Each structure stands twice: as C-alpha cells, then as structure tokens.
Amino acid sequence: MPLPHRTSATLADGREIHFYDDAAGREREVVDTRVLPPVQSGAELRWDPTTEEWVVMAAHRKARSAHTTAACPLCPSSDGAPTEIPAGDYDVAVFENRYSALRGAGGDQPPASTSLTLPAGGRCEVMVFGSEHDTSLARLPERRVRTVIDAWADRTTALNALPDVEQVVCFENHGSEIGATLTHPHGQIYAYPFVPSRFERMQRASRHAHARGAGCVFCSVLTTELSAGHRIVARSPHWTAFVPHAARWPYEVHLYANRHVPDLAALTREERTDLAASYRSLLRRFETVTESPLPYMALWIQAPARGERDHSHLHAQIFSDRATPLKPKRLAAGELGAGTFISEVEPEQAAAALRATDTWTLPDPLPAQPAAAV
C-alpha cells in the first residue's frame, strides 16, 4: 500500500511530528519557534505477580493540559500564540506526547531494573483529526476520515518496527464526560513495550481455537453474528458492525474486517475507502442514537508487533458508559475488583436502536477534498 502524503519534522524539544494531508502535492515548511525544556518522564513498569500483568507508573502526567480557559494546544499556531502544532492549518497531525505515559524519546534516567520494575519503553503519540476546534470525527468528511485511517496505518507500521514495542493501539476518548481532557477532536496511539493483558487473553483464546482445529475465533464470532442477524448494526462489502453477544456496556459495537487481516497497515485501498464510510457512519450513530450525543471510547485491536500475527483479526471496539446522556453506568466493586461485568441493557435492543438511527443528519463542516492518489 503506497504511503499517504506525509511531511515529517521535529518540535523544539526534539519530539517528532508528522502531517498527513487529504490530497497530495502540498508543500509544508515546519518551524517550531517555542523554547521548550527537555522532555522529562518518570514512567516505569511495575509487575503485579498476583495477576501477572504490568502496571504503568506515570505520575508526571499530572502536569499535562486539561480543560482550561487557556489557548487550546491542538489548534493551529498563530503569530504570538504557538501551540503543539507549528502550522497555520492542517488536515491530520501526529506528534509525540510531551507527557507520555511511556518513556519514548528523551526522558530522564530510567529506574534501576529489578524483577518487578522496568523502564517504561515504548511511545505515546497524539493524533489530531484536523485544525477545526469545534467538531468531531463523526462530522468530518469521508476524505478526512480516510486520511485518519491512512495515518493510523502508517504509524502502526513505524511503531511496530521499534525494537521496544510489542503492541500498537490506536484509540479515542470522545467527550469530557468519559475522560477526554481536551475538546479539540483528537485520539492517541500507544505503542506498548508489552502485550496488554486483555489482548494477551485474546491471543490465548485464538491459540486455543487454532489448536483444537476451529480456526480463527474472531472469524467464528463474525460468522455467528451474521447467522443470528439480530445484533448486526450495519454491513458493507468489507466491514460488519454488530453489538456483541456478551456486550459489557450499554452501547457497545464491534466493527470487524470481513477479511481475515492482522492490522490496519495490511488493508487494501478498497478496504480503507469502505472503512472511512463505515467508521464515520458508526460514530454518527453514537451521536444520534439518543437525544444528545453519547460520549464514547473507541480502540483498534491489531496484531502484536511480532509473533502470532496470523491469530489476530483486525477489529474496532466502540462503546459508551451510558444508555442515555444523563445515565452513566458506574462500575461497582464486583465489576472493578473481580473484573466481571454486569450488563443492564440487552444487546439485541441496543443493536435495534443503533440500526434505526439516521446517520446522515449531521452536517459536514468542511468541504470535501479531492482524493489523494494512494
């Protein structure tokens, strides 16, 4: 798959920034005029032997930007008001997080390695979906969503190649009610130095299915949902969206690639174009299924950087912690402590509500751009 149109540069403190344009041919000169101190990170990994999983310690993140009356750090820079984006306008921008939960570039001296403590390698990046402040990914044109997908794929390839990265996760927290600290439309990419425990359990389930001759467990789930039919939300030539049989959240949708494919970077041109329409339509359902837009979390589950990539099946999970804008689901001690969810919404009813949603009532605030030759 050819690379999207990309311009790469360096911020004032040495962090990388990459610009992805909706159309090829744009020349961009990037100069960060700020004077910034070196990036400092006290991040480390601590092993919990009782659950056999890593916990990331990142106390330095308390100093990061949050809701404030100060200028938005993700808006374009202007004379006398530089931001994290040293450009007058842009389509999609990706840069290393200055307050990274993982150590990434720079940082102070790592902690001494022991059997229970390690330096937190890997990298955290911020992906901004456009220069316009008051919008959302669901409201952007399909061409822009396609640029976001191309950027996800490109960063997945680049981060998978780093020696201390084991798993790349692209995600978005949308809405202050669900924890987003900035309102400007953006997501993040975490390149973990280990495979997170939930993804490791998925890999284990996939290994077991292959060992007993059942093939891909994700393909089996997709086949089952298509056969049942009543939890399907939408289907296109390359993608299927459904509420899972054992949904944990009031509104939860999984978006599966119809083809068995390991990650975003492996998608064909046609699959990416179809995904731009399918993913935007799905996000619009979360904005219109109730009387007010639902806050949501979304993440892409991809193959690990190395090993057992054939056992993975690319899919996204999009979910909200509330059945209505004013009724959040609060996780109780049994759910948080024991890890066993109790769902109070029937998946079949949630699927019917999402299916019935009109996804075309939201305006497109930006003019459509000509498609890039990718």
CA distance 299 to 188: 9
Single out the residue of 286, 277, 85 nearest to residue 186, CA to CA: 85
Whether 260 sits among the annotated catalytic residues: the reply is no
Burial class (CB in 10 A: 0-12, 13-18, 19+), 10: middle
CA distance 57 to 45: 6
As given in the structure block, the two tokens for residue 164 are 């201390």
Which residue among 186, 254, 313, 315 is the active-site one? 186
CA distance 139 to 133: 12
DSSP string, 122-180: SEEEEEE--S-SS--GGGS-HHHHHHHHHHHHHHHHHHHTSTT--EEEEEEEESGGGT-
CA distance 272 to 278: 10
276 close to 294: Cβ distance less than 8 angstroms? no
38 close to 108: Cβ distance less than 8 angstroms? no
CA angle 23/1/147 to nearest 5° reads: 35
Q: Which DSSP helix (H) or strand (E) runs through 315?
A: strand 315-320
Q: Which DSSP helix (H) or strand (E) runs through 331?
A: none
CA distance 190 to 217: 25
Helices marked H in 233-300: 269-288
Could you give the residue numbers annotated as active site? 186
